[in-house]
Structure 1
Amino acid sequence: MKISARNQITGTIVNVTPGAVNATVKVDIGGGNLITSSITNEAVQDLALAEGDAVVVLIKSSDVLIGK
């Protein structure tokens, strides 16, 4: 499958926390860095996501915000 997202980062799921509608998925990308994604509970179930799974984080965005 070809996709347009150029930012593709491999990692391992370290935590999946379901909520009322969305789940928070934390992915360890190495070097002590985590990426957190909020996706629907349905997506978590469809992808059968679980701690320890090897995944690819895809980032496609026109805005990247940084605050301090």
Structure 2
Amino acid sequence: MTLSARTRLSGTIRYLEVGENTAEVQLKLDDGQTVTSVITANSAERLDLSEGDSVDAVVKATDVMIDA
């Protein structure tokens, strides 16, 4: 699949909790950092996600805000 998003972070699922409507997916990136994403439960099931799977987090944002 071709995507227009340019930021792709490779990692391993270290935590996955699928609820009724949403799923929390925590990735340990190849460089040791952690990224957490909330996706629909339907997407987690369709992708057949499991802890230990190697996946990519694809980031596409129209805005990124930093507050100090």
TM-score, normalisation: structure 1: 0.88
Structure 1 counterpart of 2:55:
55
1:17-56 matched pairs, under 5 angstroms = 17-56=17-56
- Report the count of equivalent residues: 68
1:17 match: secondary structure: strand
2:61 match: secondary structure: coil
Pairwise CA RMSD: 1.3
Q: Which runs of 5+ in 2 are unaligned?
A: none
Identity percentage of aligned residues: 37
Q: Which runs of 4+ in 1 moved over 6 A?
A: none
Q: Which runs of 5+ in 1 are unaligned?
A: none
One-letter amino acid of the counterpart of residue 49, structure 2: L
TM-score, normalisation: structure 2: 0.88
